[in-house]
Amino acid sequence: MADLPKIQRKRILEYLKEGKRFDGRKLDEFRNMEVKVGISQNAEGSCSIKCGKTEVWAGVKMGVAEPYPEHEKEGTLTTSMELGAMADEDFDLGAPGIEAIEMGRVIDRGLRESGFIDFEKLCIKEGEKVWGISLDMYAINNDGNLFDVAALAALIALANAKFPVYDEKTEKPKHELSDKSLPLSKQDMSFNLTVYKVGNSFVLDPTRQEEEVSEYRLSLALADNDGEPRITAMQKGKAGAISESDMESILKLVEDKFPELFKQFSKLIWGK
């Protein structure tokens, strides 16, 4: 993305200082979201999600794999994020760049550390065969906040996925789905919330232009602890430094917004 003109940067910072945004939202307000599930006939679970003009697709594929030696009773998970030129002219063609790798790892860590997936229930035969989950996310259009939108797409795709039918004789999955859902723990569901510091303001769900003028971002994976946020993972991005007072402000913002966002995102993930 070409650098924003100085006058546009100045306007964004001045607006935020007054608690305003160009699209009329509050600083802690998300854009409208639209979700579609079952967008792929070849995936065990899939969805698309739009947050404003930002759009991400996610798909879940499952296959039989060998367990890792140190986790012989547990299934596996691989997570990837694709940031292609179709979504943003600044994204590189070819192999995933550092941004895509970072995003995939942040989302992967949030899933693992929360306990959302019961990996032991993915075991078919201890030490020999387990279910391997491949979770793939694709940025379709980037207008800011891909971290949170992609993480939410991942949760929705997983929540809607079904096991393939497993053939006991051939010990291979068939090309048909069962009615069995993945072993997911609703009480351990953890969503990603990224706070951006822009000027002296803290912003949720930034647009691409707001991201461009931000000093840093802090992504937190949040699970529910009797109505209070439980942080299961955390990742800082960009060059700016987080002061002690900044961290206090971020945690206060997260604490205040958590009940509303947990309710909103839970409805999108579970459909009720």
For 139-182, write each residue's pLDDT tens digit. 999 999 999 999 999 999 999 999 999 988 888 898 899 999 99
Q: Reply yes or no on whether the pLDDT at 25 is more than 50.
A: yes
Confidence of residue 96 (pLDDT cuts 50, 70, 90): confident
pLDDT of residue 168: 86
Q: Reply yes or no on whether the pLDDT at 16 is more than 60.
A: yes
Rounded to an integer, what distance in angstroms lies between the CA atom of residue 114 and that of residue 167?
31
Identify the residue whose tokens are 């697709």: 57
Q: Reply yes or no on whether the pLDDT at 2 is more than 60.
A: no
What is the DSSP annotation of 75-123? -EEEEEEEE-TTT-TTSPSSS--HHHHHHHHHHHHHHHHHT-B-GGGGE
Domain 24-270 has CATH 3.40.50.970: no
For 196-252, write each residue's pLDDT tens digit. 999 999 999 999 999 999 999 999 999 999 999 999 999 999 999 999 999 999 999
pLDDT of residue 56: 98
Query: In the chain, what's the furthest Cα-to-Cα distance?
Result: 68
**Mean pLDDT over residues 74-86, rounded?**
95
Share of the chain above pLDDT 70, in %: 98
**Taken in order 235, 237, 239, 243, is the CA torsion positive or negative?**
negative
Confidence of residue 5 (pLDDT cuts 50, 70, 90): low
Six-digit token string for 267: 């409805």
Q: Map out the domains of the chain as residue ranges.
A: 24-270
Candidates 271, 41, 29, 257; CA nearest to 156 is 271
